[in-house]
Structure 1
């Protein structure tokens, strides 16, 4: 490893605030309009950062110019509603199927609004209330007693004191009593620390400064979730993030994400566009239960998400770069699909075979060369 520890170039995955630092700095100078309290960009600039400027070259008053890249492939109106929610007094809850880029969207929004996406709590069945509120440095607590110096703030408490965005991943996997710790935070915008009451810290109440807000995510298919209370639901604006509707847009996203993944592995992405489109087509067919031609398909129980399509494309690219030739990429596709499909229910294996005996065979009979090759590779699924 070269460079200093923690340097951006030494990270496997760069934070959005680091990866897009130049765009964020440009947009701060480009749009000098009104900003909500504590925001680094205007709401309009946040939407542009997430959705891109298309082919338009943006020119700032100081002479700088750039084209802002599109980062989230989805409905612009959805992003605009998210930004409006964050500018108000309600929390934002992004819900949807796994792999629909809810976390990525929350990271991008956080980076644009407050400059950091790292104030995050990962929700699990083992998440405690302390992880949403605060803990203690027990050595300092024993030595000096309760004090601000001995307090170990949670990411949420840190966001409150900085006027930043806190992120809670998979909030519905937290137990109900843990979730309920958020109710007063989102309504009263303050957190009580009883241990500090009566000392130099007054009544021990920590008040949120302007700019504080919260983004949470939840999967619609997550098993073992805890139902949110009606009180907590009222304090969130729910926005559903759906799968990408356009085949070409999804293919382009899979290509770009897989290319970036291979670059981190020190290899070039060398999967033919025709193979990549067949991969994305198969994912979309199995995800919706209907082929592009309108043929009915038995859907597997697993979620055929875009995120998993990226993983398969990356694996195929790594195989092509290190182990074989273009022909080997095609031969690996059935096995990779089987590995994706057969996760939750063994019967999904039969459903994938049914897909091969249906749309794959019919496309092969229609004369499509790649689908004919895939049909000939049916035995790979055995």
Structure 2
């Protein structure tokens, strides 16, 4: 697996999961590989009794993760909701890995996702030759999760059309998936549940029906509360990226990460860190995930087109690309920020010059 670009969470953090299992003396819900308390420790990080260090996967409010884990012990499904780039998919993957040991049962929601992606499909060659049969049936991740008692993930639920969304109602309320063509039904085994994600930027695209909303417990994942929290997230994710990509570049100085996070937070919040200057906000979200991407792109620039040391010139293109989602409106916002904020900071002259030149 050494050449795999990105391993699944249960493979990447196998040692941590195994160590947590050994040390876990709490009661586990049926078919869970860890207790709810250990699942939270896996997500939030901590030191075990034997001194083993668990790295945090989510940096933020612990209570939110506790609520999410508690929800999955009940008959309610979990909806992770929030702005793009607030680690909804990341948290979803790690919850599935820590609960079921398998984060691969995924339905990717799109405008073209049909009922057959959620319920079941058919091998049409066999269907025409043999008629409806179990051999002709094509199982979906939802069906497999029900049969094995595992967590199923549905990404971008609100991108799926409303009539397809509602195929989940019977599955979530009665824990049954009828297969009328075979005069049978799949009964969910203990341990089965669904984690769905949705962006609030998609509000109004395909809102959940009230019947479906009632079957989900919603946990809103916010943007990081503090500057230090967001810097820590970016630093950790960038370091893991460097290990995987094996870039011939030095680790980015913490000060460079701090400057990127500062720019993103100020533009996102519409005010400078010191609260003295109001700023127009661009049309994009400028999420933590985008800050990570900017630093990673800068590292690649430094490694292959620079001297291996991350500099302002390596970051400038990524910053501008993240901010300028609307070429007219966002350009004006960025130019004003560049001239009124960045230019006035004595130790930011290099960023100002690099961005101005582009």
Pairwise TM-score range, normalised by the shorter structure: over 0.9
Question: Is 1:263 aligned to residue 256 of structure 2?
Answer: no
Q: Is the 8 A contact 2:60 2:229 kept in 1?
A: no
Of the candidates 188, 191, 195, which is equivalent to residue 208 of structure 1?
Answer: 188
Partner of 2:29: 36
Q: CA separation of 1:151/1:269 partners in 2, compared to 1, >3 Å: closer, same or farther?
A: farther
**1:131 touches 1:154 (CA, 8 Å); kept in 2?**
yes
1:276 to 257, 269, 281: 257
Find out whether 1:158 has 2:144 as its counterpart.
yes
1:227 to 203, 207, 219: 207
- Counterpart-to-counterpart distance in 1, 2:221 and 2:250: 28
Equivalent position to 1:21, from 5, 14, 33: 14
The normalised TM-score by structure 1 is 0.89
Of the candidates 2, 16, 39, which is equivalent to residue 9 of structure 1?
2
Cα distance in 2 for partners of 1:123, 1:81 equals 24
Check if 1:302 corresponds to 2:284: yes
Aligned residues: 356
8 Å CA contact retained: 1:108, 1:117:
yes
CA RMSD in angstroms, aligned pairs only: 1.7
Rounded to whole Å, the distance in 1 between the matches of 2:343 and 2:304 is 31
For 1:380, the equivalent position in structure 2 comes to 357
Show the 5 A alignment for 1:184-199.
184-197=170-183
Deviation digits for residues 14-69 of structure 1, max 9, x if unmatched? 1000001111111112112211121111000000000011xx3432xxxxx51111
The answer to whether residue 348 in structure 2 is matched with residue 348 in structure 1 is no
Q: Bigger shift: 99-108 or 252-261? A: 252-261
Gaps of 5+ in 1: 1-7, 60-64, 198-203
Q: 1:279 to 1:105 in 2, by over 3 A?
A: same
- Report what 1:135 is aligned to: 121
State how far apart, in whole Å, the 1-side matches of 2:126 and 2:285 are: 48
CA distance in 2, matches of 1:223, 1:45: 34
Please list every run of 5 or more consecutive structure 2 residues that lacks an aligned counterpart in the other structure: none
